[in-house]
Amino acid sequence: MTTLNAIRSAGILLHPTSLPGPYGIGDLGGSAYRWVDRLAQAKQTWWQMLPLNPTGLGDSPYSSFSAFAGNPLLVSPDPSVAIGFIGLLNVLSIPLCYRLVQRSFGRRAALLASLLYASGFWAAFVGRNAFDVASWQQWPEGLLHRRREALDTARRELADAVAQHQFRQFLFFRQWRALKGYAHERGVRLIGDIPIFVAADSADVWGNPPLFLLDDQLQPKTVSGVPPDYFAKTGQLWGNPHYDWDALKKTDYAWWLARVRATLAQVDLIRIDHFIGFDRAWHVRHGSETAEHGEFVAGPGADFFASVRRQLGGLPFIAEDLGLVTPEVERLRDDFEMPGMLILQFAFGGATENRFLPHNYVHNAVVYTGTHDNDTTRGWFKSINDNERAHLCRYTGRDGGDVAWDLIRLAWASVANYAVAPLQDVLDLGPEARMNLPGQAGGNWGWRFRWDQLTDEVVGQLREVTVLFGRDAPRFDPSPAPSPNILRTCSFH
């Protein structure tokens, strides 16, 4: 297990869906390997990405039908051609990879026989479309409450659909393990992401109702969000059910430990989204239209992290400690020596806070120019007022004409041990390249870069600033790639 240490290092934030390629969104094929090569050429230690689970509402990677499954839309047809799963004519005639997987399934039934084992509730859950309802809360009562007879019937009737989804998962994890091994060989480590909450309409809630605050009809009693802040005047209403932390504690947080272990099989380090929620979380009455009215309820706090550390032997976490950070949140982060996040944009404009100014930094932190929730730095600079722009120019001693790289240099030069920038800032792109606008239901997550943007000059510039500020960390010893094992690769929860 990789843990963060005191080595100064740097990395780039890019979700795999943003990779170039011919199949609608980025995937785990040739572009992903080429991207790793570019990171290595630029002497980057980290590739950071968003959650890799199947996307749900609004195509958001933070709203998934399963906290354990991989996103089958990331499966690349290209490696599948090499191993004989898909014929070349399929690649040429059907440009969407999930349709390729569906067509290839019927031709490889014998190969997939070993996948048809007791795969748990996730595989059964993916037969949801057979009931033609919006969510599992509207399923027939027997399935809703997971009664044995109803589950046995569903397994028989949906066996083919379940097996197809198992195959998709097999392809995803097989391809991901190969890509992870390739990155390790080139000294690149992966930073993943765990959203603290799971979607109400997920296999996780359906399969584990005692672990969530639900009523007798399995509807959430309260839902998640944050009160009004810089991003949204009426708060952000996320709608996730809250955990029953007392019930989880009785199991020594077994479900959470399984989730962390599953994520660590894919990445080396984990950013925990909404870390504040482990200290206290905003509870809003189910059915509310905004997050304006709610209350903070205590989370599991130190007990949770002590349990995880004891069972894992360490805490491979980055704490996303943005928002209403209290002394209790800071103490929770620092007592367990987890690096927090520092956002340079927040030092100079918009949600301005002094803790984000570089002269206030501590070593054990990850500094970002911006995140997936921020505008690109160029777009942000245009949106702030004249006084804020003037403050940034005085601080950097620059005129703002190359503001994205001004912030990259600030981040890389800072005392924070870890510096990360979204690729959009490295490429100096405007607001058209923004990944997500919090509070906006649609139109997010679709940005992709082009190879002609990531030129040798840009890679050289990134390498130069990385070496200049001592962030060209020694290459990690590559971990041996585990041998392919269908059952291990496709373990479902």
Residues annotated as catalytic (active site), given as ranges:
273, 320, 373
Helix (H) or strand (E) holding 10, with range, is: strand 9-13
Pick the closest to residue 308 from 297, 319, 293 (CA basis). Answer: 319
SS3 281: strand
How do strand 46-48 and strand 189-195 relate by DSSP bridges? parallel
136: Cα within 13 Å, side-chain hemisphere: 25
Give me the sheet containing 295-298, strands edge to edge. 236-241, 222-226, 280-285, 295-298
Compute the distance between CA of residue 325 and CA of residue 372 in angstroms, rounded to an integer. 20
Query: 3-class SS at 454?
Result: coil
The backbone torsions φ and ψ at residue 145, rounded to the nearest 5 degrees and listed phi first, read -100, 15
Closest CA to 481 of 255, 173, 241, 269: 173
Angle between the 302-312 and 327-335 helix axes, to the nearest 10 degrees?
A: 10
Say how many C-beta atoms besides its own lie within 10 A of residue 85's C-beta: 22
Radius of gyration (C-alpha) of the chain in whole angstroms = 23
- DSSP-derived letter for residue 481 is P
Q: What's CA 483's distance to the chain center, in Å?
A: 25
Task: Give the whole-angstrom CA distance, residue 454 versus residue 115.
Answer: 40
C-alpha distances in Å from residue 395, one per residue of 379, 380, 406, 420: 19, 17, 10, 20
